[in-house]
Structure 1
Amino acid sequence: MGYSEQQRSTTWLLRGGLRPTRQRLALAGLLVGDGMDRHVTAESLYAAVGEAGAKVSLATVYNTLRAFCEAGLLNEVVVDGARSYFDTRLDDHPHFYWEDSHTLTDAPAEDLVIAGLPEAPEGMAVSRVDVVIRLKRA
Structure 2
Amino acid sequence: MVETMTRQSRNGSDNRDAARDLFAERGLRVTQPRVALAELLFGNGPRHVSAESLHEELVRSGAPGSLSSVYRTLNDLSCAGLLRRMPICGSTAWFDTQVEPHHHFYAEDEDRVIDVPGNGVHVGNLPPPPDGYEFVGIDVLLRVRRRGPPPDA
Give the number of equivalent residue pairs.
137
Find out whether 1:127 has 2:132 as its counterpart: no
Which has the higher Rg, Structure 1 or Structure 2? 2
1:13 to 17, 23, 26: 23
Q: Is the 8 A contact 1:13 1:28 kept in 2?
A: no
Percent identity reads 37
Counterpart secondary structure, 2:93: strand
Gaps of 5+ in 1: none
> Structure 2: which amino acid aligns with 1:20?
V
Q: Which of 52, 59, 62 is the aligned partner of 1:50?
A: 59
Q: Deviations over 1:24-53 (max 9, x none)?
A: 11111111123x001000000000010111
Q: CA RMSD in A?
A: 1.8
Amino acid at match of 2:33: Q
Please tell me the residue identity of whatever aligns with 1:13. Answer: F
Kindly provide the CA deviation profile for residues 67-98 of structure 1, in whole angstroms up to 9, marking residues without a partner as x.
Answer: 11111111111322322210000111111111
The structural deviation recorded for 1:118 is 2.6
- Structure 1 residues 128, 16: CA separation in 2 closer, same or farther (over 3 Å shift)? farther
**Helix, strand or coil at the partner of 2:94:** strand
- Kindly indicate whether residue 125 of structure 2 is the aligned counterpart of residue 116 of structure 1: yes
Q: TM-score, normalised by structure 1?
A: 0.88
Q: Please list every run of 5 or more consecutive structure 2 residues that lacks an aligned counterpart in the other structure.
A: 1-10, 148-153
Task: Report the secondary structure of 1:40's partner residue.
Answer: strand
**Against the structure 1 CA distance between its residues 12 and 119, is the aligned structure 2 distance closer, same or farther, given a 3 Å change threshold?**
farther
